Amino acid sequence: MSDAADTPITIASRKGFYYEIKAGKRYLWCSCGRSKQQPFCDGSHVGTSFLPVAYKAERDEEVIFCGCKHSGTRPFCDGAHSNLPDGYRDDDPDSPENRRVAVVSASPEPLVKLDGQCYVFATTRAVLRLRGVMSYTPVISTATGALYQSQFYAEVACGASSVISADGRHTVLFTTAGDGEIEISGRRFAVGPLTGVYIRPSEAYRIIAKSPMQVFISNGPGSEDLVWLENMPADFEKAHPLRCAVIDPSQRQKMAERYYQLLVNRAHSSTVVTQFIGKIPLSKAEPHRHLYEEALIFLNGAGVVWTEKTKTTVGPGDVLFLPRKQLHSVQCTTPGGFDVVGVIYPGDNPAINY
């Protein structure tokens, strides 16, 4: 890709540039890749067909400027660097540096703490609270370091759960096992394994299991517990009819040897929380960071989660909580690869990293 056939783009960096922009300030982003003051223009484009891209900040904000110069959302990163030659590198888990990373072993408790506020939660070791036909446990909350979201794991026996209020929060469900329906403020949607569902902040919902179901409930902003109602309101937001998301191989987006598919996203009118499913092959990703807060649900296989100074094993039913800007890497140790479901908040593109 280039702005003119005779003027190729110089890839300044394989990853984006983290920067704190200030309201009212104007920035000139380098589009040619030649600048020595990356990611900003220093005039090196003179004599080429390139021009810098001007951007005026509307507010103080943390952003990631594109470093590869191939972004479709310039001046900001959109993850395009991952699909450039040598853009997405694997990391050697047996390197001398990685051999010094300490192993944190699981205990009878479900929580395994890593660096900072990062941790892995094992739903298979959790004690669930019983309410009617539904048993559940908090997985992510402000009490465990989250700033933007919370998550609960639920098991629902055959029958209908009590009514749960979205309580002004964006709510995203993901069914890992069982069949049934999700009733949202009086309207029902059929769900099965590997189905995502979106509930608007003004609505309420309940889980109706036709066979025993396992469901992850994520919401943002976060909460310490679910909010229960006596009755189901009939206030479904008809202006937003699309609520379910299913796996569709035609919607996969490539990231080098990995891929992901957006599930709940802006197409469902979810403007701040995004759910996706991804495939990780037998490999260890290069350590990286995100600006969004992320929860990763491991569906199958086996692997290792790495942070700066610690690592721990993960398997089906485990959840990795990643605070914003936490350095991390996910390694798959299963020959056939494994599948993960992610929830990011606030954000809409799981490919953006730095």
| CA-wise closest residue to 144 among 323, 317, 283 | 323
CA distance 220 to 168: 9
pTM for this entry: 0.94
Q: Give me 100's structure tokens.
A: 């010094």
d(CA 99, CA 294): 26
Question: Which domains does the chain carry?
Answer: 1-87 (no CATH), 99-104+247-345 (2.60.120.10), 125-244 (2.60.120.10)
Helix H segments across 32-162?
96-99
The whole-chain average pLDDT of the chain stands at: 95
Average pLDDT over residues 1-8: 55
- Count of alpha carbons within 13 Å of 300, Cβ hemisphere only? 15
pLDDT for residue 3 is more than 50: no
Quick one: residue 46, left, alpha or beta (phi over 0 = left, psi -120 to 50 = alpha)? beta
Q: pLDDT tens digits for 97-149?
A: 999 999 999 999 999 999 999 999 999 999 999 999 999 999 999 999 999 99
Place of tokens 């470093």: 67
Q: State the average pLDDT over residues 144-163.
A: 97
Give the rounded percent of residues in the chain with a pLDDT score beyond 70.
98
Q: What is the CA radius of gyration of the chain?
A: 22
- Position 6 scores a pLDDT of 62
Q: Is residue 257 predicted with pLDDT exceeding 90?
A: no
